[in-house]
Structure 1
């Protein structure tokens, strides 16, 4: 069945026809130029309407006036619009009391370009690239100073975000670190950026915060967890981490009930350093039988076999022997819970997104770094806003069946 054609407003059709007759555009660019040409007269007519309302009479009204204020010619102004740069004439009054709302005094940009600049900056574009893109698309130039001023506008918002109150409970927390280059005292130095990602009790993702330090250390992680608590967090169920020395002790000093899980993916990466490249595939297949076993008994049997099979690589075996309790504790929990806690892939995906925008070079200071990462986080959170963690209801139900979590979930789920 053929769909009926949507009827157009006759007034709009007539207007479009008039524009076509007046300009006779042959290309999309010529049509765009026609619209740009019409923008000025349209804007001027609307401003004239504002002045009529302000004065209380039309321009050709011969009747009595409410006061002595009158029209006083026009002032020229160049506006930056999404159609490019357009010059308009702004009507004035004698008293100087006319305050147009459509285009306010001293306003030169009505293109909503600020959000476009912030969006490009959040995607890792340099100031030079942003300036060139704005000029290519909109036909007006934008200085590096102006771009910097626009991006600096988020600094107050950033500071509020870094100190905002957090939720009382996060079921899963993932911690990781990435390194960026900062210029300090005329010298470029590597700086550790600590990132903490949380899954709240409702199954929503949230970056709890960003911190920087000269290097990754157990003492600094403890300070981070202490700050998280001071911002309102009362309980964490699980922390997944990449094996930082002292992190487990630091976390449990602040949140005694938390279960700290070593990321098995990191353990695999650490262990294959001791294995010839040609053996990687077979080695990882043997490991998968261990951490992918159906229960702890099967995992222990597979681990014994693994140790015998790869005994000629004691360095690789040692990584797993020293950390095997992290494999064993996985089997204290159901499969849906294990699937979330056994790896830090969730936060590595976040850090991978950060690296895409930080790889462009050294940052002049911490503010520039935080500004870029914060804008990137706002982009990520737009994607997260409409979704939940896959199978979250199953995860929550499986945790509810365990005494150590049942009461805690009930306490925070209904807040």
Structure 2
């Protein structure tokens, strides 16, 4: 049985302070390790005659305090006379243990405010961290938010999806605000979150700012944009990327149809509409659309006319067959946005826009790393044909 085990048993028997026991043993262990480091560096033990006239020797120590979950460690950092020894036991200049810093940064990423983190740390570890200390700990991640927004992007994207989701945000009061998100698939089939913006409501003004930002960061050629059909969005896209094709999400159109017909007709009319965007070819889709219009125009004339005249429903048929299922809707980005909402519900509200920024960029970075090398379904087979489409776009 070692000394620590014996001390633990004795402390438990006397109902002593286990935290203090662990703190003192940790302090002893770290100080011993520091002295051992210097011995290994000098290559001789303290008071060993081998060290005489060796050209370097011990030169006392300086005090340093490090905060841990068990309390403060009072350490003596040894020095050598030549000033060449650099200890590796403790990270330079850190006053807290790495685990605690990682905890703070993790909480910061989740959108928790400085004051909330400080209160939590004090309850958990029994000592107070000033707002400045907390700010220093999380400065690195704040810089990562800025780096995410400013990073350079690829010049080409086969498709870019635009969609907004709503999350509660506190300004003076708490209200849901629109998180505008752009996700792009590169010609090789890998995908990433390109950019985002927070605004009270979804609008073409905000989307225009995002698109201009993408252009400024290097995006030049985009084959296709897919959106839910926000009024004016097509013109907004073509203002920044005039050569890009545009696809109106067929799933959103189907939902819109469902809301405009009687309950008794919903299933049948939606099944009929599905034959349009699940056809084998554009020609078959055109026939299905005409049949849809003729069948339903007597009951729902305005709806039938809008489907017949909406050429943006069939744009995806101009693309390789292997990727069409990924292009006729915004399902790809909507499923991602659902994950964003799911994680955001773990926090009742974001206290300010900066806390939401940190949360969002944390999720976006995770997504981008996950799909950095994963090829989206069908894009490997379509790569050569997509390259030809880019050539036609730029010629």
Q: TM-score, normalised by structure 2?
A: 0.78
| SS in structure 1 at match of 2:188 | coil
Q: Does 1:235 align with 2:221?
A: yes
Q: Which residue of structure 1 lines up, in the alignment, with residue 14 of structure 2?
A: none
Report Cα offsets for 1:150-176 as digits up to 9, x if no partner: 444311221122112211111111111
The match for 2:382 is 395
Q: State which of 288, 300, 324 in structure 1 corresponds to 2:286.
A: 300
| 1:76-225 mapped onto 2 (5 Å cutoff) | 77=65, 79-80=67-68, 87=73, 89-92=75-78, 100-103=87-90, 107-119=94-106, 122=109, 145=131, 150-184=137-171, 186-225=172-211
Give the conservation status (yes or no) of the 8 Å contact 1:69–1:95.
Answer: yes
Where does residue 340 of structure 1 map in the other structure? 326
Q: Quick check: 338-347 or 45-54, which moved more?
A: 45-54
Shift of residue 214, structure 1, vs aligned partner: 3.9
- Counterparts of 1:205 and 1:134, CA distance in 2: 37
Q: What is the alpha-carbon distance in structure 2 between the residues aligned to residue 70 and residue 293 of structure 1?
A: 82
C-alpha displacement of 1:235: 0.6
Cα distance in structure 1, aligned partners of 2:301 and 2:204: 28
- Distance, in Å, in 1 between the alignment partners of 2:295 and 2:118 is 60
Q: Write the mapping of 1:258-407 to structure 2, written as runs, cut at 5 A.
A: 258-277=244-263, 279-310=265-296, 311-314=298-301, 316-317=303-304, 319-323=306-310, 325-359=311-345, 360-400=347-387, 404-406=389-391
Instruction: Indicate the SS of the match to 2:147.
Output: helix
Name the residue aligned to 1:64: 52
Distance 1:188 1:346 in 2: 29
Label 1:147 to 1:383 Cα distance change in 2 as closer, same or farther (>3 A).
farther
Kindly indicate whether the alpha-carbon contact (under 8 Å) linking 1:41 and 1:88 is maintained by their aligned counterparts in 2. no
User: More displaced, 112-121 or 361-370?
Assistant: 112-121
Q: After TM superposition, give the deviation of residue 39 of structure 1 in Å.
A: 5.0
More divergent stretch after superposition (55-64 vs 333-342): 55-64
Following superposition, the deviation at residue 256 of structure 1 comes to 2.1
RMSD: 4.0
Q: Deviation of residue 388 (structure 1)? A: 1.2
User: Residue 331 of structure 1 aligns to a residue in which SS?
Assistant: helix
Give how far 1:265 is off: 0.9
CA distance in 1, matches of 2:363, 2:129: 22
1:44 to 2:44 alignment = no
Check conservation: 1:270, 1:319, Cα contact below 8 A: no
Change (3 A) 1:278 1:151: farther
Q: Deviations over 1:61-89 (max 9, x none)?
A: 256365786436x85845527xx558464
Deviations 1:331-388 (A, max 9, x none): 3333223222211111112222222233434433322221111111112123213411
Select the structure with the greater relative contact order (CA < 8 A; seq sep ≥ 6): 2
Report SS of the residue matched to 1:294: coil
Is contact 1:80–1:140 with CA below 8 Å preserved after alignment?
Answer: no
Q: Secondary structure at the match of 1:153?
A: helix
How many residues are treated as equivalent by the alignment? 380
Q: Is the CA contact 2:164–2:180 (under 8 Å) kept in the aligned structure 1?
A: yes
Tell me the CA shift for residue 115 of structure 1: 3.6
TM-score (norm 1): 0.74
Cα distance between partner residues in 2 of 1:112 and 1:194: 34
Compared with structure 1, are the counterparts of its residues 134 and 398 closer, same or farther at alpha carbon in structure 2 (3 Å cutoff)?
farther
